Amino acid sequence: MSNPVSTAGYAEAADTLAAQYESVRFEDVHRDILHLIPAPPGHALDIGAGTGRDAAALARRGFTVTATEPTAELRAHGERLHAGLDIRWLDDALPDLPRLSAAGQAFDLVMLTAVWMHLDAGERERAMAAVAPLLAPQGRLALSLRHGPVPEGRRMFDVAAEEVIAAAAGHGLALLHRNTRGDMLGRGDVRWSFLVLERPA
């Protein structure tokens, strides 16, 4: 189910990336938006879950979690590292998320951590059309965007927060939060935008 263009470079670097992803805590990465995460129990979806750091943290908080990861090597790390938690792993990929879309489930929380910038403009339009219907009434979408140089062998775009906010509004989602801050791994030329959007009741 992997999109070989948007996931370029991840399979080959899976072992290194697994260590990198798991070296930082969910609570630190998402410290600016923790107060906006819905109270469990509920259903959470982590799209592009990588090794499952965020999915595992949400499961420990009491959510029933679905984690989608199109790169088999990263998914295997996640299933091993976070075995025993209430996480259903799924091979599905943006922009269209065909398996999730067909299932028709609604989620109280959808996470898109460091994922959106891998999609080109046309794919981002399709992705928002696929993601927005997955939110339950009052469901929240938490999304982060990377700004800075593109690592060698990767495919990334510098996506403006304003573009995401406008696209989300076109699908009925309202902005609750926006902030920008530096990189947690100490890369001085990298910054991140964090957005939380909500589907009205």
Read off the pLDDT of residues 118-141 as tens digits, 9 standing for 90 and up. Answer: 999 999 999 999 999 999 999 999
Q: What is the share, in percent, of the chain residues with pLDDT greater than 90?
A: 81
Domain boundaries, the chain: 14-132+140-198
99 has a pLDDT exceeding 50: yes
What does pTM read for this prediction?
Answer: 0.90
Domain range 14-132+140-198, its CATH number among 3.40.50.150, 3.40.50.300, 3.30.2320.80, 2.40.170.20: 3.40.50.150
Q: What are phi and psi of 123, to 5 degrees?
A: -65, -35
pLDDT of residue 146: 96
86 has a pLDDT exceeding 60: yes
Q: What is the mean pLDDT of residues 109-123?
A: 97
User: Half-sphere exposure of 102 toward its Cβ, with a 13 Å CA cutoff?
Assistant: 6
State pLDDT tens for residues 2-28. Answer: 455 544 445 565 556 556 667 789 999
What are the C-alpha distances in Å from 185 to residues 16, 29, 58, 189? 14, 10, 22, 11
